[in-house]
Amino acid sequence: MKIYFFSGLLITLSFAMGLDADAQGKKIQKTYSWEYAVNSDVKFAFNNYDCDLVIHTWDRSNIEYKMSVDATLRSEEDARRLDGFIEELEFSHSAGSVEFNNKFWQSRKNLVGKKTIDLRGEKTIRYSDFNISGELWIPEGCNLILTSKYSGIELEEINGRVNLNLYNDKLFGENLNNNLTISAKYSTIEFNRVGDIEADLYNTDLETDQIEDLVVISKYSKVRTGDASRVTINSYSDKYSFGNTGDISFTDKYSDLKAEITGNLKLDCYSSTLVIDGIKDVELKSKYGKYEIGTVDNLHISTSYSDNFKVQSLNTLNVTESKYCTYKFDRLSSYLLLKEGYSDKFFITETGSEFKGMKVNGKYINIQMAVDDTLSYRFKANLKYPKLDIDEESMDVRIKIVESSQLEMEAIKGTETEGMAEFVVNGYDVAVTFTED
């Protein structure tokens, strides 16, 4: 991960040059500083506005803040008034709690080229140029609450809890050895390693190397992490990418999710795209989705509408309701259950000698399945307008009743045994094709 530094800017502005009068205006280039003794686990709230900021952590029980001002005022009186005002600034502090606010003005305006600053409790001053930057030292165990706008921020490794409220910021952090809470808009956030994250993101990029649990609400955002523990996502038009994870709960619209190996998945998706290498079990409710999965133990679908599934290896498929869906499985090793289907397509390349069968009920269903030629099984059908392409000659047909467009059939392939594999097909205009596996 790239970490960006603003230290060069701070060094440039760190020389206290006092007040300088010239033909263009009255110049202030000066560094102001504040230092307070605090507890090592102090609660520190910092309100940062339009100020690039470097936050260092140290093993001292002190908070130190240096603010560098580079400004050109319209008159010497304005320059002295601003300098005096900042010199007298004092922030709320105690051993257990400190609050800084570097937005020391009430308002800054630019009306038809006339730039003014309304200092809190002071007269309005005029300026032509105004820039500030900051450098901060806090205890390693500090619990940091940072509110910021329009700034670039660098944060060193910290052990305390961190709460971020960001707007149009770029924050680059090292390790955060505790929990992180984020509310961010139009921002970029990067960390190395983080504990638990709770986030509310809007049009924001979040990237970490490794995290513990993640709980996030997001819109128009991108989240990229390495490995993670449990993940809970409520998403709208986002892109998520993970390494290995624990269980994932994903509720979304118009979003993408990529991961390597995960625990169990609970999905409630609308027009989503998921690409995952390996999953334990999946519970799914979906519309207009695309799913590409490497291996999965059990796929349970409550409702699926116009979805597309591509799975390399699956143990069992259990579908309660499905319409206009396409299922492509390289291998289905145990069982297929479709309780109610409508205009669905199933393409299964391999099942194997341990396959237990399928039970299908629906309308306008098309099933193309490879069945191991050594598998003994029972075949039962109750269909209207059937379209069967199976090897009846190799079967012992026990029942076959055809009345008009209605078919009732029962047959045995191989040796009949108790608990043998069973294929049951019921419905209307159902096509079944068995090929040799």
Q: pLDDT tens, 177-188? A: 999 999 999 999
Q: Is residue 409 domain-resident?
A: yes
Q: What angle do CA 16, 48, 109 make, to 5 degrees?
A: 85
Q: Is residue 208 domain-resident?
A: no
Helix (H) or strand (E) holding 270: strand 265-270
Greater confidence (251 vs 119) lies with: 251
Region of residue 414 (left: phi > 0; alpha: psi -120 to 50; beta: else): left
Q: Is residue 264 domain-resident?
A: no
Q: Does the pLDDT of residue 12 top 80, yes or no?
A: no
Listed residues 133, 153, 178: the one ending a domain = 178
Q: Is residue 24 domain-resident?
A: yes
Under DSSP, is residue 228 helix (H, G, I), strand (E, B) or coil?
Answer: coil
Going by C-alpha positions, the residue among 251, 341, 348 that lies closest to residue 305 is 341
β partners of residue 18? none
Burial 269-303, CB ≥16 within 10 A → b, else e: bbbbbbebebbebbbbbbbbbbbbbbbbbbbebeb
Q: Does the pLDDT of residue 336 top 90, yes or no?
A: yes
Could you tell me the residue range of the domain that residue 162 belongs to?
Answer: 1-178
Q: Taking residues 40-63, report their average pLDDT.
A: 97
Q: Is residue 66 domain-resident?
A: yes
Domain count, the chain: 2
Q: What is the pTM of this model?
A: 0.89
Which residue do the tokens 């190395």 mark? 192
Q: Is residue 374 domain-resident?
A: yes
Report the DSSP pairing between strands 205-210 and 222-224. parallel
In this prediction, residue 112 has a pLDDT band, given cuts at 50, 70 and 90, of confident
β partners of residue 323? 305, 342
Whole-number Å distance between alpha carbons of 116 and 394:
93
Q: Is residue 306 domain-resident?
A: no
Listed residues 178, 197, 226: the one ending a domain = 178
List, in order, residues 6 or more apart from 84 with CB less than 8 Å away: none
Q: Is residue 63 domain-resident?
A: yes
Q: What angle do CA 162, 166, 172 make, to 5 degrees?
A: 65
| Residue 1 confidence (pLDDT) | 44
Listed residues 152, 178, 204: the one ending a domain = 178
Which residue do the tokens 């992180």 mark? 180
Q: Does the pLDDT of residue 121 top 80, yes or no?
A: no
